[in-house]
């Protein structure tokens, strides 16, 4: 089967600012833990919910060896190898 591929990247950069007298590591990276525990799961859930609204496409996560704290790859697949007999979609 012939297959084509296109990559699109949506990158998030997390930054935290601290007062000048901050000695470093005092907050034990709580701001990163907030992203990992609360924000990132909700963002991923919202992305999947949005993508699933588009008929004819399937979605799944693909792991290419990067840590999920650094990268999550979402694969969208459209199978054009089978004939479409009838569709109500416009």
Looking at the structure of the chain, the number of domains it has is 1
Please say whether the beta carbons of 90 and 75 come within 8 A: no
Residue 2 within any structural domain of the chain: no
In this structure, what token pair is assigned to residue 50? 């949005």
Residue 47 within any structural domain of the chain: yes
Residue 85 within any structural domain of the chain: no
How confident is the model over 18-53, as pLDDT tens digits? 888 887 777 788 999 999 999 999 999 999 999 999
Q: Which domain holds residue 64?
A: 30-78
Residue 44 within any structural domain of the chain: yes
Lowest mean pLDDT among 7-16, 36-45, 68-77, 81-90: 81-90
Residue 66 within any structural domain of the chain: yes
Check residue 65 and give its pLDDT.
87
- Answer left, alpha or beta for residue 87, where phi above 0 means left and psi between -120 and 50 means alpha: beta
Residue 49 within any structural domain of the chain: yes
């Amino acid at each position: 089967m012939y297959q084509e591929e296109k990559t699109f990247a949506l990158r998030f950069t997390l930054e935290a600012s601290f007062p000048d007298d901050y000695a470093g590591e005092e907050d034990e990276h709580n701001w990163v833990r907030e992203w990992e525990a609360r924000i990132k799961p909700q963002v991923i859930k919202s992305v999947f919910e949005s993508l699933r609204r588009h008929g004819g496409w399937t979605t799944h996560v693909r792991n290419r060896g990067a840590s999920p704290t650094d990268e999550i790859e979402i694969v969208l697949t459209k199978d054009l190898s089978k004939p479409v007999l009838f569709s109500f979609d416009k």
